[in-house]
Amino acid sequence: GDSVTQMEGPVTLSEEAFLTINCTYTATGYPSLFWYVQYPGEGLQLLLKATKADDKGSNKGFEATYRKETTSFHLEKGSVQVSDSAVYFCALSHRNTPLVFGKGTRLSVIA
């Protein structure tokens, strides 16, 4: 079945550092790929998505590119802020199939 593997955390960075959170997937066909973010005490919210190969999703300074050849969708941000501290989830879905989530990566940004 479909699965998502993302790097284990926690990840601790200083403010203004470069962020990469790795995400790879196993799936048949061409799923849609997502990054969700969960701030402390809240539910998840969509950060960005990509629906086909080579698409780049972007939002709030975060970017991820759908790489079919490496089955990856790594999340990047050039300069993190303390307010980016959260848990980040990579996920995939096919048409008519519910989202499959990775286990999440906790990011802590220190001033």
Kindly list the residues in this chain that would bind another protein in the complex (CB under 8 A): 32, 36, 41-46, 49, 51, 89, 93-99, 101-104
Distance CA 95, CA 90 (A): 17
* CB of residue 26 to another protein, shortest distance in Å: 15
HSE, side-chain direction, 13 A CA sphere, residue 79 = 1
* CB of residue 71 to another protein, shortest distance in Å: 18
The residue among 17 and 99 lying less far from another protein, judged by its C-beta, is 99
Name the token pair of 66. 């759908």
* CB of residue 39 to another protein, shortest distance in Å: 11
Distance CA 101, CA 35 (A): 9
